[in-house]
Structure 1
Amino acid sequence: MIKYLFDRSMALIGLICLWPVLLVVAILIKVKMPGGPVLFTQHRIGKDGKLFTMYKFRSMTMSHSGSSISVAGESRITPLGAVLRKYKLDELPELWNVLIGDMSFVGPRPDVPGYADSLQGEDRLILKLRPGITGPASLKYANEEEILATVNDPIKYNDEIIFPDKVRINLNYYYHHTFLGDIKLIFQTIFRSYELAEIPQNNK
Structure 2
Amino acid sequence: MKCNEVKEYYNILQKRKISLLLKRLFDLVAGTIMFIILAIPMAVIAVCIKVDSKGPVFYRQERITTYGKHFKIHKFRTMVANADKIGTAVTVGGDNRITKVGVKLRRMRLDELPQVFDVLSGNMSFVGTRPEAVKYIERYKPEYFATLLLPAGITSETSIRYKDEAELINSVDDVDRVYLEEILPGKMKYNLDSIRRFSFIDEIATMFRTVFAVMGEEYQSTEE
1:36 — aligned with what? 55
1:11 — aligned with what? 31
Out of 73, 81, 88, the residue aligned to residue 94 of structure 2 is 73
Out of 189, 195, 204, the residue aligned to residue 219 of structure 2 is 195
Counting aligned pairs with the same residue, the percent is 37
Q: Which has the higher contact order (CA 8 A, sep 6+)?
A: 2
1:201 — aligned with what? none
**Unmatched runs of 5 consecutive residues or more in structure 2:** 1-20
Query: How many Å separate the matches in 2 of 1:150 and 1:131?
Result: 29
Taking structure 1 as the reference length, what is the TM-score of the superposition? 0.90
Query: How many Å separate the matches in 1 of 2:49 and 2:89?
Result: 21
Aligned positions, number:
195
Q: How does 1:90-105 map to 2 (within 5 A)?
A: 90-105=111-126
Query: How many Å separate the matches in 1 of 2:82 and 2:34?
Result: 32
Query: How many Å separate the matches in 2 of 1:14 and 1:78?
Result: 26
Aligned residue for 1:104, secondary structure, equals strand
- Deviations, residues 47-95 of structure 1 (Å, cap 9, x unaligned): 0011011000001111541111101111111111111111101000001
Cα RMSD, aligned residues only:
1.5
1:161 — aligned with what? 182
**Unmatched runs of 5 consecutive residues or more in structure 1:** 197-204
8 Å CA contact 1:139, 1:194 repeated in 2 = no
Deviation at 1:152, TM superposition (A): 4.4
Taking structure 2 as the reference length, what is the TM-score of the superposition? 0.83
Is 1:48 the equivalent of 2:67?
Answer: yes
